Structure 1
Amino acid sequence: MALDLLKLRYFSKIAEFGSFTRAAHELGVAQPALSLHMRSLEEQLSVQLLTRTPRGVVVTEAGTTLLAHTQAILKALDQAEAATKEQAKNPSGDVSLGVLASIAPLIALPVLKICEERFPKIRLTISEGDSQTLRAAIETKAHDLAVNLGEVARPTASPLFDEMLYAVGPAGHFAEDGSSISISQALELSLILPTRRHGIRILLEREALILGKTINIAREIEGLASTKAAIGAGFGFTVLGRGAVFEDARRGALSVRPLAGKGFTRRLVLDSPVDHPQTKAVLEVRNILLEVVLRLGEQGNWSCVAPKQA
C-alpha cells in the first residue's frame, strides 16, 4: 500500500517541532486528528515512529529513517511545484513557427521581437515556406504553428485574415490613382508565377478556366524576393497578396493595382498539428501571433477578426 503524502507531511512537521501540540497549531489540524493519522501511519508500516516523553516527542530509529526519505520527497515536491509555477509565469522551451513566405516580412519580425521581450526563455524559430511545405511540416509535427493558405491547410485550422490580391508591376507602370484591374486584364499581363503547387497560381488558373482564357506566363520563378527583383528589372508582372508588396509600393520600388471584383482575396489561417498538446510556450507564441495579426489588420494590411487568444 502506498504511503499517504498527507500523513508524511504531518509526520515531518511533528518531528520538526518535537510536539504534537505545536505541530497541530502550525498545520491547523486538531491534535486528536493528528494523533490518529500518526497511529494509522505506524500501523501501516508496523513500526513505532514517535515516542512521547515528558519533554515532548522523540523520533525513533525507524522514524529517523522514514524522516530522511520524507524530507527528500517533500523537498522534491516543493521544487516541482515551484518549477511548475515558474513555467506558467515564465514559459520556456522550443517553439517552431512556419509562415507563408509572402507575408513573413510583415509578421515574423514583430512576433520575434515581442516574444523575446516577454518570454526570453522561449526559443522561437521562424521558418518561411510555401503553402505545401507548411502543410507537410504541420502533418509531420515539424512546426508547432503555421500561418498558411486556407485552401491548403487542414480544415480545422483557425481563420486569421483575408488579404487582397494585387497585380504587381515595375515602378511607375500602374497609375497611383487607386483604380483596380480586372482579372481578365491581369491574365493578359506577361506574368511571372511560381509553379502549379502555389495558391495564387491555382487561383489564377481557375479564373482563366472560368473565363475561357489562357494565362500569359512569361516565366516561372520560385521565391518571393527573386520574383520581385525580376519585376523590378522589367521582366514581367505578377499577382501577390498585399502584405508581400505593401512596403515596396510605399517606397516606389514597385507599382500595384488591386484586382477588381469580389473573391479576389486569399484567406490565411493558423494551422497546428492534431493530437499534439500545445505547451505553454506554444500557446504564448500563438497569442503573440494573434496580437500582431490584429494590429496589422488595424493598420489596413488585411481584414478578418483573428480567433480568440488561448
Structure 2
Amino acid sequence: MALDLLKMRYFAKIAELGSFTRASRELGVAQPALSLHMRALEEQLDVQLLNRTPRGVTATEAGQTLLSHAQAILRALDQAEAATKEQAKYPTGDVSLGILSSICPTLAIPVIEECSQRFPKIRLTVSEGDSQALRTAIDTRVHDLVVTLDSIAKATSVPLFDETLYVDGPSRQFAPDAELTMEQVFDLPLIMPTRRHGIRILLERQALIFGREINIVREIEGVASTKAAIRAGLGLSVLGRGAVHADQKKGTLSAAALKRPDLTRRLVLDMPVNHPPTRAAIEVRKILLAVVRKLGAAGHWSCPPRAIEDPR
C-alpha cells in the first residue's frame, strides 16, 4: 500500500518539533487526530516510528530513516508547487517570432520591449524574412509565431491589419500627402523583388487587370538594399507603410500612397497547427496583438474588424 503523503507530512512535523502539542498547533490539526494518524502509519509499516516520553517524542531508528526520505519528498513537492506557481505568474521558455522583413523594424522593437518588461524569463528570438521563408518556418515549427501575408498563410491564421502600399522615392520627390494611381505607377522605373514576393505578385495582378506591364528596371531582394538603391537614385519602389514610415519621418525617403484603386495588403498571425502553444508563446502572442492595436490606433495601418481579437 502506498504511503499517505498527509500522514508523512504529519509525521515529519512531529519528529522535527519533538512534540505532538507543538505539531498540533503548527499544523492546525487536533492532537488526538495526529495520534490516530501516527498509529495508523506505524501499523501500515509494522514498525515503531516514535518514542513517546513525558518530555516529548523522538524518532526511532526506523523513524529517522523514514524522516530523511519524507523530508526529501516533501521538499520536492514544495519546490514543484512553487515552480508551478512561478511559471503561472512568470512564464519561462524560448519563443521564436518571425516577422515579414518590411514591417519588422516597426513591429519587433515594441514587442521585444514589452516582453522584456513584463516577462523577463521568456527568451524571445525575433527573425525577419520574406513571406515564403516564413511559411516554411511555421510549417517546420522553426517559429512559434509568424506575422506574414494572408496570401501565404494557412486558413487558421488570425488577421492582424491591412497595410497601405506606397510608391517610395528619394527625399523630397513626393509631398507628404502625395497620391498616385495604378495607371501612373506602371510608367515609373521600379525596383522590385523577384516574383515570389507578395507586393510583386500584387502589382502583377493589377497589371493584368489594366492590361499593362510593370516597368521594372532592377530586381533587388531585401528591404534595406531596396531603400539604399532608392536613396542612390537607381529607381523607385513599392513598399508597405511599415517599411518607410521611419524613413519618411527622418526625411531620407518620400512616399506617395497608392490610390484608385486603394492598394493594400493584409497581414496575419500564423502558428503551427496540431501543436499546442506553450504558456510563453501565448503571452508573446497577447503582447503582439496589443502592439498591433496600439500601432493601429496611431495610424500605422488599418485593422480589420476582428484583427485584434485572439480566438485561441
**Normalising by the residue count of structure 1, what TM-score does the alignment of the two structures yield?**
0.89
1:254 Cα deviation after fit: 2.1
Does residue 300 of structure 1 match 2:299? yes
Alpha-carbon shift at residue 309 of structure 1 (Å): 9.9
- The answer as to 2:228 corresponding to 1:229 is yes
Shift of 1:146: 1.6
Deviations 1:155-193 (A, max 9, x none): 2222222111112223333344x2422223223322211
Aligned length: 309
Report percent identity of matched pairs.
66
The residue aligned with 1:97 is 97
Contact kept in structure 2, 1:200 and 1:239, CA below 8 Å: yes
Amino acid at match of 1:214: E
Partner of 1:161: 161
Question: Residue 186 of structure 2: SS of its match in structure 1?
Answer: helix
2 CA distance for matches of 1:212 and 1:7? 84
- One-letter amino acid of the structure 2 residue matched with residue 300 of structure 1: G
In structure 2, how many angstroms separate the alpha carbons of the residues matched to 1:31 and 1:261?
A: 85
Q: Distance in 2 between matches of 1:26 and 1:216?
A: 83
Match in the other structure for 2:276: 277
**In the alignment, is the contact (CA less than 8 A) between 1:148 and 1:268 conserved in 2?**
yes
**RMSD of aligned residue pairs (Cα, Å):** 2.3
The DSSP-based 3-state class of the residue aligned with 2:290 is helix
Alignment of 1:125-274 (within 5 A): 125-176=125-176, 178-261=177-260, 264-274=263-273
2: distance between equivalents of 1:233 and 1:15?
A: 82
Once residues 68 and 306 of structure 1 are traced to their aligned partners in structure 2, the CA distance between those partners, rounded to angstroms, is: 54
TM-score, L = length of structure 2: 0.89
Q: Distance in 2 between matches of 1:39 and 1:157?
A: 61
Q: Is the 8 A contact 1:144 1:273 kept in 2?
A: yes
Of residues 230-239 and 24-33 in structure 1, the stretch that sits farther from structure 2 once superposed is 24-33
CA separation in 1, counterparts of 2:5 and 2:181? 73
Cα distance, 1:198 vs structure 2: 1.1
CA contact (8 A) 2:158 2:310 kept: no
- Poorly superposed stretches of 4+, deviation over 6 Å: none
Give the secondary-structure state (helix, strand or coil) at the position aligned to 2:136.
Answer: helix
For 2:61, the aligned partner's letter is: E
Structure 1: segments with no counterpart, 5+ residues: none
Please report how far the alpha carbon of residue 111 of structure 1 lies from its aligned counterpart in structure 2 after TM superposition.
2.2
